[in-house]
Structure 1
Amino acid sequence: MQYSTLGYSGLKVSRACLGTMTWGKQNNQADANAQIEYALNQGINFIDTAEMYAVPPSADTYGTTETMIGNWLAANPSRRDEFILASKIAGNGLKHIRDAQDITGETVLAAIDDSLARLQTDYIDLYQLHWPNRTSPHFGKHAPGRISFSDVDTAAHSAQMLEILQALDESVKSGKIRHFGLSNDTPWGINEYIRLSEQHNLTRVTAIQNEFNLLQTRDWPFLIESCVHQQVAYLPWSPLATGALTGKYLNGARPQGARWNLIQRNGLFRDTEQSNAAVAAYGDLAQKHDLTPAQLALAWCNQVDGVTSTIIGATNLEQLKENIDAFELTLSESALSDIADVHKQFPVPF
């Protein structure tokens, strides 16, 4: 396993990060324990979770993933320093989480304490805002005209961000978190937090995680360039496009136990005619280069300049092994050229 620097923090993290959002819905405690043990044994030292998990989010599963990690930590208290632990505070829009309200400084402080209790640890290495208070062009809202940036009150949102940043800074100083990051945000969001931290001498953003995969490359090049020069780690989530890039959903297939059988809060917006055509083309490329479709997609993501660590997830150990093995691969120039040709045909398939 290779390692990269986690942005401004200086921490070294594995190129693959263990995602956990299926734990508590598709996976039980025994599954979670097995995945943690296997990942650590393979050199992964980065685990990502969130208060909202498991997914799809519901009142019944809220906090269960953090609880499972906490159960493992309680059984293995001497192993806390073996990995960098990341979690997130949920944003607005979910009735069962703080009555769907915006993130505030007050809720940040309370949510950190609640996460620490569930995780059964004294500190979180990387604490992230799961999505911003303003509507961002994520979760299928990236088409031109889908949302209006002009309707956002810039000064009001900047003031909210400062309040949140002050609470995060307080949490860093108290030792409850070490660093903070963003998720599902934009270049303006990143740079406004940096501006505020410099202006007010507060903790600085060190990472952002956004969806990034062969079907969704909107962050290249503009956001990723900003991350590189601002020392903000770029952490792709859903590098397999919620499993679509494995090919398991082609032609309307819905394998038993697969995620697309579950109710999705924003619908299956990745399931389009263009996406399916792109997935089929990438599948053919994988076969041509003696790779599985998942390995092709993950190895490609890992080789994109500016990517720090890619968040992978699995519902069983066989999937996890295949995914981790992809990070030992180096795609040939021929494979990269073939991928680029397919991407030109399907640049925005959903």
Structure 2
Amino acid sequence: MEYRQLGRSGLRVSALSLGTMTFGGKDVFGNVGHTDIAGAKRQIDMCLDAGVNLIDTANMYSRGASEEILGQALAGKRDKVLISSKVRLSMGDGPNDEGLSRAHILEQVDASLRRLGTDHLDIYHVHQWDGLTPLEETMRTLDSLVRSGKVRYLGVSNFSGWQLMKAQSVAASLGYEQFASNQIYYSLESRDAEYELIPASLDQGLGVLVWSPLAGGLLSGKYRRGQQPADGRHLTEWSEPPVRDEEKLYDTIETVMDVASAHGTSPAQIALAYLLTKPGVSSLVIGARKDEQLADNLKSAEVTLSQEEVDRLDTISAPDLIYPHWHQSNLVSSRFSSADLALHRPAR
């Protein structure tokens, strides 16, 4: 297993990390999986054996059940892993049961620590944007968690580019702890993150953690043009990620299948290995309903793609250059930085 620096921080994380959205299976999360304590222990042991040192969860996964199961499954093994959790989304019906207010963050971090059976979180992500709470309040509260020792590093997830930069600027101007990681959706199905979030992460020194790197299973190989899979998340009410260009998706899947055939590996391993070639990526968060899916995904750490194969995958999945990127490409590409080139370098 390769270990990568989490942005400019001193923390080193495994190139693959374990996602726990399948733990619990309550409410809508039942569409993703129903992993119980026994299953969680098996998957954690599989990951530890493979060299994984980061496990990602969130307070709202199955309304706390994911954290509870993870905490019990990690009994006696807490010092072997880094734990990431999140705060922002709804945890109840009250007016203060969501958001990034001081009240909600302080209540939820203590609840997460209790459920996980630990005295600290290694990475604490704000899970989504809160347009009603002043960023000064949010960043001051997060800074206090780092100073208290309850949290080691701060992370952000699902912000837009301007929201991320505003938060970083507020923290810097007031001397507060800034974000060290950016957890985002990024896959061969959709490379929208290359417009702003990957360049901003490179510029600001944030390590990128990728959620749903297989696009909710769309890139696993079971979804093919003209064929209906027997099972899968996209046959349920779970609609993430949305597919906006079905023909492009199937063209991409066919290329992934060709590359996988040449390597004698699964399509999932190729899709994951591709993302590990992308600038700024620190770790891919992988989760699975079945142990065999997890075992297959873990093998992607052993796959090395040639530059020609990366170029093929870049070309077939390339996002359109929206404004102002096409204008910049036409007129000022001679002075692009490495952050600019995260979008403009790939083969098109």
Q: Report the Cα distance in structure 2 between the residues aligned to 1:253 and 1:97, rounded to whole angstroms.
A: 42
Which residue is equivalent to 1:41?
49
Q: Does 1:181 align with 2:178?
A: no
Which residue is equivalent to 1:172?
146
Aligned length: 312
- How many Å apart are 1:278 and its aligned residue? 3.0
Match runs of 1:107-146 below 5 Å: 107-134=104-131
Q: Does 1:62 align with 2:70?
A: no
- How many Å apart are 1:332 and its aligned residue? 1.0
Q: Report the Cα distance in structure 2 between the residues aligned to 1:48 and 1:308, rounded to whole angstroms.
A: 13
3-state SS of paired residue (2:134): helix
Q: Work out whether residues 23 and 65 of structure 1, in 8 Å CA contact, stay in contact via their aligned partners in 2.
A: yes
Which residue is equivalent to 1:80?
78
Cα 1:202–1:104 shift into 2, 3 Å: same
TM-score by length of structure 1 reads: 0.82
- How many Å apart are 1:188 and its aligned residue? 1.7
Which residue is equivalent to 1:339?
313
3-state SS of paired residue (1:297): helix
Which residue is equivalent to 1:146?
none
Q: Work out whether residues 32 and 69 of structure 1, in 8 Å CA contact, stay in contact via their aligned partners in 2.
A: yes
Q: Work out whether residues 278 and 346 of structure 1, in 8 Å CA contact, stay in contact via their aligned partners in 2.
A: no
- How many Å apart are 1:194 and its aligned residue? 1.7
Q: Report the Cα distance in structure 2 between the residues aligned to 1:345 and 1:107, rounded to whole angstroms.
A: 37
Q: Work out whether residues 91 and 129 of structure 1, in 8 Å CA contact, stay in contact via their aligned partners in 2.
A: no
Q: Work out whether residues 278 and 342 of structure 1, in 8 Å CA contact, stay in contact via their aligned partners in 2.
A: yes
- How many Å apart are 1:219 and its aligned residue? 1.7
Match runs of 1:85-100 below 5 Å: 85-91=83-89
Deviations 1:44-88 (A, max 9, x none): 1011000111xxxxxxx3111100011123x31xx2221111000
Which residue is equivalent to 2:217?
243
Q: Report the Cα distance in structure 2 between the residues aligned to 1:202 and 1:314, rounded to whole angstroms.
A: 37
Which residue is equivalent to 2:178?
204
Cα 1:221–1:304 shift into 2, 3 Å: farther
3-state SS of paired residue (2:216): coil
Q: Report the Cα distance in structure 2 between the residues aligned to 1:6 and 1:345, rounded to whole angstroms.
A: 26
Q: Report the Cα distance in structure 1 between the residues aligned to 2:84 and 2:185, rounded to whole angstroms.
A: 17
- How many Å apart are 1:105 and its aligned residue? 1.4
Q: Does 1:102 align with 2:99?
A: yes
**Unaligned stretches of 5+ residues in structure 2:** 26-32, 323-348
Match runs of 1:14-53 below 5 Å: 14-25=14-25, 26=33, 27-53=35-61
**Unaligned stretches of 5+ residues in structure 1:** 54-60, 135-156
Structure 2 residue corresponding to 1:308, chosen from 262, 267, 282: 282
Match runs of 1:265-344 below 5 Å: 266=239, 269-270=242-243, 273-274=246-247, 275-344=249-318
Q: Work out whether residues 289 and 335 of structure 1, in 8 Å CA contact, stay in contact via their aligned partners in 2.
A: no
Q: Work out whether residues 249 and 255 of structure 1, in 8 Å CA contact, stay in contact via their aligned partners in 2.
A: no
Q: Report the Cα distance in structure 2 between the residues aligned to 1:131 and 1:252, rounded to whole angstroms.
A: 35
- Structure 1 letter corresponding to 2:316: V
- How many Å apart are 1:125 and its aligned residue? 0.6
Cα 1:345–1:107 shift into 2, 3 Å: closer
Q: Work out whether residues 122 and 152 of structure 2, in 8 Å CA contact, stay in contact via their aligned partners in 1.
A: yes
Coordinate RMSD, CA, aligned: 2.4
